[in-house]
Structure 1
């Protein structure tokens, strides 16, 4: 049986290759193929620039032709291009952990809410939620970001090199702020693909379930076929 392979649509900005990050060694126990989406800078994608949609589609097709069995992206804001990318290929596509919000919400006790920790709360909008299949009118999902922090500035660079301890602390600070203002939050979804490195620290401190892009990728690989038909 052919080995399953995850395809990752990457920002034009250089990925962080430190251990614990999406492009770091040992993050996944299955094969990974990566492709850089030309024009997809952090600034353009987080601003919702639709002009890069065709570039995402083209790169997804290239990944499929290279034999990947599922496709994700290394920026949760890329979910605005989910519909077009998914329609262009025949393998499962999930471009953001925002897709997991309704699922996680269903697992919580009555009165419990899902909270989102994002790269920039000022840029995460209703159209991102709708693209993920839900809306703020249907469910209360409070959002907090790390905007203004040192990590936020580092991650915006062309060649970002976030300091792991610094990033973990910035995510913890954001999570604390969210839980203080929204005590009904009973689970957290990390939008940013740099945040998995902080997931275990947040779980330990808060006692809450935390899901992120690595959880999404593993779920997607589990349900994908062992090979594509192209």
Structure 2
């Protein structure tokens, strides 16, 4: 006997997307090949990167809730977003939807901190340090004294994403992320792990890991963890004696 109650089955995670035109390579949350499981997408019209990062996303609270509700009606059992700055809507979304919500990769910071040896702490790389306010950090449960470094002053990454350019030099973006990671770890020698705030940073996570030697967490690590609980893997019964 199977139970229904929704329209679409097999994709438990719904992703709220900003309205953009910039290219999204594998690893990016908006490239469907990134995920080892099916996902649903909904675009929040008018929610541009500049508006959400550099202004106040709370002005579009109802638009995000409406699109998230559409994902739930479609069949999603949990909702995530494609911008770390949407942590500022975490409480609004989870109150309105009735399903688990993970609005930002920053939500991993408290958990990761619990895994680190005494004296070590989590550092954050963000697309816009000046725009990441205490309200954003509080929405994700991030301590306000967390070391943060932005890619704002780099060659390409922040400017291309926030300006929503139709063409992006991804090699230059990679160098921006590596530079920011090195500055972050040089300025704070107690950092034991890095969290990537921006969902467009995932393609460079491995490069950052190699360059710094530190564990690197991102929206990819958050969503794969999130999905694993919404759709737990079924293991075959072991009939033979394991000895």
TM-score by length of 2: 0.86
Structure showing the higher helix proportion among its residues: 2
Gaps of 5+ in 1: none
Aligned counterpart in structure 2 of residue 148 of structure 1, from 125, 129, 153: 153
State the secondary structure of the residue aligned to 2:15. Answer: strand
For 1:62, the equivalent position in structure 2 comes to: 70
Aligned counterpart in structure 2 of residue 34 of structure 1, from 26, 34, 41: 41
Q: Do residues 171 (structure 1) and 172 (structure 2) align?
A: no
Gaps of 5+ in 2: 3-8, 233-243
CA-CA distance at 1:160 after TM superposition: 4.5
CA-CA distance at 1:159 after TM superposition: 4.5
- Larger Cα-atom Rg: 2
CA-CA distance at 1:76 after TM superposition: 0.5
Q: Do residues 113 (structure 1) and 121 (structure 2) align?
A: yes
State the secondary structure of the residue aligned to 1:194. Answer: helix
CA-CA distance at 1:152 after TM superposition: 1.1
TM-score by length of 1: 0.91
Q: Do residues 93 (structure 1) and 85 (structure 2) align?
A: no
Aligned counterpart in structure 2 of residue 10 of structure 1, from 17, 22, 28: 17
Matches of 2:21 and 2:88, distance apart in 1: 21
How many residues are matched?
A: 223
Q: Which has the higher contact order (CA 8 A, sep 6+)?
A: 1
CA-CA distance at 1:157 after TM superposition: 2.4
For 2:220, the equivalent position in structure 1 comes to: 214
Matches of 2:166 and 2:78, distance apart in 1: 26
For 1:122, the equivalent position in structure 2 comes to: 130
